[in-house]
A and B are shown apart, each in its own frame.
Chain A
């Protein structure tokens, strides 16, 4: 059952149409990504879902609620982590958790939550003394304090170093394991590929595709390429005879074999049969980056 339904959402700012007929549905328990370049309308879309902006057209339902009409109920159901939202500089982590948990009807145990987010040793630390990664983890903790069914995380890992980013990814998977549906806004390909069950690619206010990361890639191009240095000369016709192979090329001392399906297994088996060893073997697949270029006509601009 879809927990978030967005149907033909439109949002304008003056003459500029920031969101132009966006539709998608998020199933309960999945990590759903919204991927797109800066200014594509990602944040505006989730702000409409969060009830922070009123749409100019279309409908939104979150757990059956209309974010505009049923705002009070929505607040108990949906936890939001916003871009550029801070806390008072001298508020301590523990004080923030205690305060925010008092806002909800059925709050989570904030000490346990802080433990999960590895902030227990920071309970007495003031917000201004936290590192970027710690601030982001606190921000996630505050988004989850009300025991929400849905968590919206907007550009969560922007500005984090690679290690902190990987930690945040592990954390998001943990949260999903607790049964929380996650709507993740990102412009990082790696993040989308690693975390999302499905994603909507948004460009210039429109959805250009909704699929799993693998689905997006294969819809664009399922060709693979194998490069290797053969230990002994091998007849190209031998490889071309394989049904998986579409092309064989020589590039210096290397052989480049292009094909589809289970290409790697087919080629290595054929080589082994002919007592040829493939040195420096590399398999190149179409990436989500390639898929994005194919879908939008340009690379994602970080």
Chain B
């Protein structure tokens, strides 16, 4: 087994030993979908939404929400705690660079995000008759870009946070605006024009719109793809610049 896969396996084992984390990062999204789907009025077509049902709009938002959980809560807290407790430092004294551990964590969170996405889409389709993405390729592209931009943001939080607790505080602080503009409280179609324009330039606003477009059978708008790529490059670059191993 390669070092990366062994590290990923170990990190995954450790992840599943934290029941609270498992619930929030993996279980919360499907549960929220089921709760929202159980509200009868959310299952009625709404002419204000172009004939779509509220629950149709929420499927991509919930998928994107998981990305926010993993990237803003899971990743920075774990990395900052590892740094604080000297775990990254100990790895520096071995032939394996701590960057490999970072790679293992990114791999683990990416796999988890994909699994949650598949679970949410399956529940959405089977339980609530929500259409599967018509443009699967476009959906995957939008999802990967959204995941990259969020993980880059998470790494930046981990880079700047002084401690595990600090990382969790900054992550939570970012969590609400990011999800607000993703449309968790007010879906993008119902947002006032100004808010929707701002939302276009946030990673998950662009992400959710791309997922909705792909679900409807369109390719994402160039603007949204560019916004997500931009967040990935800028946040990722700053994270790489400011990341400290100890």
Contact = CB atoms under 8 A, between A and B. Distances in A.
Interface of A: 50, 52, 72, 75-76, 78-80, 82, 84-88, 90-91, 95, 99-100, 102-105, 142-143, 146
A75 B94 contact: yes
Interface in B70-95: 82, 85-87, 89-90, 92-95
B14 A88 contact: yes
A97 to B, nearest CB: 12
B94 A95 contact: no
A102 B1 contact: yes
B125 interface: no
B100 to A, nearest CB: 9
Contacts of B18: 90
26 contacts: A52-B89, A52-B92, A52-B93, A72-B95, A76-B95, A79-B93, A82-B86, A82-B89, A84-B86, A85-B85, A85-B89, A85-B90, A86-B85, A86-B86, A86-B87, A88-B14, A90-B17, A90-B18, A91-B10, A95-B10, A95-B13, A99-B6, A102-B1, A102-B3, A104-B94, A146-B95
Given A50-B93, A91-B14, 15 more contacts: A52-B89, A72-B95, A75-B94, A75-B95, A82-B89, A82-B93, A85-B87, A86-B85, A88-B14, A90-B18, A95-B10, A102-B1, A103-B94, A103-B96, A104-B94
B87 A88 contact: yes
Nearest to B2: A102
B17 A105 contact: no
Interface string B3-34: 10011001001100110000000000000000
Contacts of B17: 90
Nearest to B246: A52
B10 A99 contact: yes
B83 to A, nearest CB: 11
B3 A103 contact: yes
Contacts of B92: 52
A178 B113 CA distance: 48
Contacts of A104: 94-95
A88 B95 contact: no
Nearest to B100: A103
Contacts of B89: 52, 82, 85
B165 to A, nearest CB: 15
Nearest to B1: A102
A183 B104 CA distance: 33
Nearest to A73: B95
A85 B86 contact: yes
Contacts of A143: 93
B93 to A, nearest CB: 4
A102 B10 CA distance: 12
Contact of A99 (B7, B82, B95): B7
In this complex, which of A79, A82, A88 has the most chain B Cβ atoms within 10 angstroms of its Cβ? A88
A84 B85 CA distance: 7
The 5 closest A-B pairs by CB, nearest first: A85-B86, A80-B93, A75-B95, A85-B90, A90-B17
Contact of A87 (B7, B13, B87, B95): B87
Nearest to B90: A85
Max chain A CB contacts within 10 Å: which of B1, B82, B92?
B92
Given A99-B10, A102-B6, A142 B90 contact: yes
A90 B1 CA distance: 22
A143 B3 CA distance: 18
Listed residue (B7, B86, B87, B95) with the most chain A CB atoms within 10 angstroms of its CB: B95
Most buried by A among B1, B82, B90, B92: B90
A197 B229 CA distance: 60
A76 B93 CA distance: 9
B87 to A, nearest CB: 6
A99 B10 CA distance: 8
A222 B10 CA distance: 57
Contacts of B3: 102-103
Q: Chain A CB within 10 Å — which of B1, B3, B14, B82 has the most?
A: B14
